Structure 1
Amino acid sequence: MQVTETQNDGLKRSYAITVTADELDAKVNEKLKEAQPEVEMKGFRKGKVPMALLKKQFGQRLLGESMQETIDGAMNQHFEDTGDRPAQQPEVKMTNEDWKEGDDVEVQMSYEKLPEVPEIDASKISVEKLVVKADDAAVDEALTSLAENAQNFEDREEGAAAENGDQVTIDFVGKVDGEAFEGGSAEDYPLVLGSDSFIPGFEEQLVGVKVGDEKTVEVNFPEEYGAENLAGKAAEFDVTVKAVKAPAKAEIDDELATKYGAEDLDALKTQIRERLESEYAGAARQVMKRAVLDALDEMVSFDLPPSLVEAEAKQIAHQLYHEEHPEDHGHDHGEIEPTEEHQKLAERRVRLGLLLADLGQKSEIEVTDAEMTQAIMAQARQYPGQERQFFDFVRQNPQMQQQLRAPIFEDKVIDQITENAEVTEKEITREELQKAVEELDDE
C-alpha cells in the first residue's frame, strides 16, 4: 500500500492511496482461510472445502468488503501516524473508475485538519461578576403577580351579564352533524372567558350571557385539531349557564402563602427573594460568560477549517432569515447567501468552539450521565403528557444528545476558566442587569 501527499495548503490535505491487487488478494485469502473451518458444501466434509472452490464461490463477495476494510485501515493508520484530526468526515473516492478485478485500487482522500490550538493563560483574563440583591420592591412586585394568578372568582349580582375575564360555570353538550361526540360534554365546567382554553370562537360567544341562559354556540374545529374525526368540522354546543363570577384579586396574606406551599407570608417572601436572586445570578452568569468569550476571542488567533466556517455562516444566515420572517415556516425559500457579518460571526463561533473543545479535552472535562438526564428532563417538561416519549426519542437520537450535551460541556469549560481568571464582584441594580442582558442580544 502506498500513501502519497497530493495537497498541503493551510489546513487542506489530500492523499493518493494505492492498494495493490496483491494486497487485496491476500486480504480475500485471509478471510477465506478464517471461514474455511466452518464452511459446508455438498460433496465435502465441513472444513474440507478447497480454497480454490471457496474463492470461486465467495471471492467476489469478499472483494468489496476487503477493499473497504483495507482503505479504512490505511486512513486510520494515516491519522495515527500524522496526528491529524479531520474537521469533518474525509471525502474518499476512487480515481480509477474503470477498475476491474486484478487491478490496483487508487483512492483519493481529502479533508481539512483541525488546527493546532494555542495555549491560553486564564489568569490574564479579567472579568466582572455582577451581583444583584432582590430588594423589597422586587419582592412586592412578585407577590402582586402571584396574587393576580391566584385570583378568586365571586358571584356577580343577580342578572349581571358575563364579561371577558369572568368565570362562567356551564353545562354543555357538543354535537357534529346533530350527533353528540365523545368528550364533547361536561357539567359544572368552570370556564374563564378570554383564556383561549376552548375552540376558537367558543368563549367569545358566551360574553354577555347571564345565569339561566341557554345558548347554542356554533364553532368550527381547527384543521389541525388533534382528533382526526373532528378536525375541520362544524360543531354546535348546547350550553346552559349556571353561574357568572367576576375575578377578585387574592389578598396578600398568609392564606395566599399557603396556596403556594409556604408556611406563612414571611416564608413566601423569603422563597421569592431566593428565587429572584437565583434568576439574577443566572442572568449575570450569561453576562460574565460573554465577557470571558470576548476575552478569549482577543487572546487567540489560528487558522480555521473553511468548511466549518462556511457551514456555520449558512446556518446563521438561515436562522436569522426565519427570525426576520416568522411567517415563513417552510424551507423552500432557496439558498440564503451569508453576508460578511454572518461570516465574521461564524469565524468567531468556530474559533471559540475549537478553543473550548481543546481546553475541555486537555482538562478531561466530561458531561456526566446525571447531567444529561437532568437536561433531557428539563426539555421534556416542554411537552406535557409526552415526557416519556421525548425521553426515549433523545436516548435513540445521537444528534439530539449532542445538542443537549454541547452547552453543558461549554458551561463547564467556562466555569473552569473563571476559576483561574481574575473575577471582581460588582453590585448593581436589577435595571442595570436587565440592560446588560439586553445588550447581549443586540450584539
Structure 2
Amino acid sequence: MTTQDESQGGRNNARSLAELHALGIMKKMPAALQLDSTEPVDLPTVTAPSLDGVSVVQVAPAPLTEQDLVERFDALRRKHADSRERQPGEEVALEDEVLLDVLGYANERLIPYSAKENWWTRVAADPVVPGFFEALVGAKVGQSFVIELTLPEHYPVEALRGQSARFLLEVRAARELKVLDDDAPELLSRLGMGSTTDIMRKLGDELAQERLAEADRLTQERVMDVLVERTPVELSAALLDEEIRRRWADSERPLLLRKDFQQDELQDALEGWQADPLTRMDAAYRITLALALRAIAERDGIQPDRAATEAMLTDLADFTGVSREEMGRSVKEDAALAQRLFEMALRTSIIDHVMKQVTLTPAAA
C-alpha cells in the first residue's frame, strides 16, 4: 500500500549493524549488482553503451508554492507538539499518530507492498486510499480489526484499481498531539529559529535546496534512461523472477514469517510480486542499468573513488549511530558489508564518470 510517509515518531535510537543488514540500507545499488551478494546467478553479457552524443534536458526544480511552505510548517508544528500516549483500550482520534501492523488483501491474495510492521503514521485523509485512515478514528489501542474498501481508479497498482480490498490492522500504539498555534510564543521558543517570518524564510530555503537536489536526481535518471535505451539485452523471465524473489525475500518475507505465514501463503505473496507488471518492469530496468554501468566500468577502467567511499562510511556511521572508527572496524570484519559498500562506491564513481561525459541542456524557462 502506497500511503503517507512515516511520521517523526519512528525510532531514533542508534541502530546496530545487525539491524542495518535487516533494514537493507545497503540496497541502494542497482538490482543486478545485488545479485552478486548471494549465490551466483547467470547474467547476460552486454556491450558497454557509447557515451558519445548523449544529451538530455535538465529537469527544472519544481516551483515553490505557499501551500508547500504551509505544509512544511505544519509538519514542524507537529514535530514540536505536546504528545500524550493513549492507553490500551483508548480510542484513536483524527490527527493522532498511530503505530500499525497492516496486511492488505484483494482477490483473496496479499496485495504487493501492502504488508507493514511497526509503522508510525498520521490519522488523516489520504487520496491514495480514500477511507483508509478515516476508518482508524474510533479504533482502540491494542485492537485488531478489518477495513474494507474499494481501491480508487488512481491506485498505484493498475490491476487492482476498482477492486474490493480488505486490510487487516493492529493498532499497537497511538498518541494524541496538541499542536501549538502558529504564532504561539512557546512554539517559537521550541523551534529556536527566530520569528515566524524568519522561520518561513528558512523553510523556504530548505525546500528550495531540496527541489534543486530532486531536479538533479531526476536529470541523472534521464541520463540513466539513455544508457538503458543504448543497452540492448534479453532478460529471461527466470532472471526477473529470481531478482524479484530476492528483493521480496529481503523486504517482505521476514515480516510475513513473524506473522506466522505458512509456506503456501508465502508462495502466494511472492507470486503477487512476480506477477505485478510494474515490479517486473522495474526489475528489468534495474538489471539492464546495472549491466550497462558495470560494462562501462570495465571498458573505461573505473574504480571506486576513495573520497566517495569515505563519505559513505561517514553517512553509514551517522545512520547507525556508531562512531566512524567503529564503522571502519566493522567493515573490515564483515565481508558482506564491505562488498556492499564497495559496490555502492563503484556505482557512484561510474555515474560520476558518465555525468561528466554527457551534455546537459538547461530547461526552458
TM-score bucket of the superposed structures, by smaller chain: 0.3 to 0.5
Structure with larger Rg:
1
Of Structure 1 and Structure 2, the greater strand share is in: 1
TM-score by length of 1: 0.41
TM-score by length of 2: 0.48
- Larger RCO (CA under 8 A, 6+ residues apart): 2
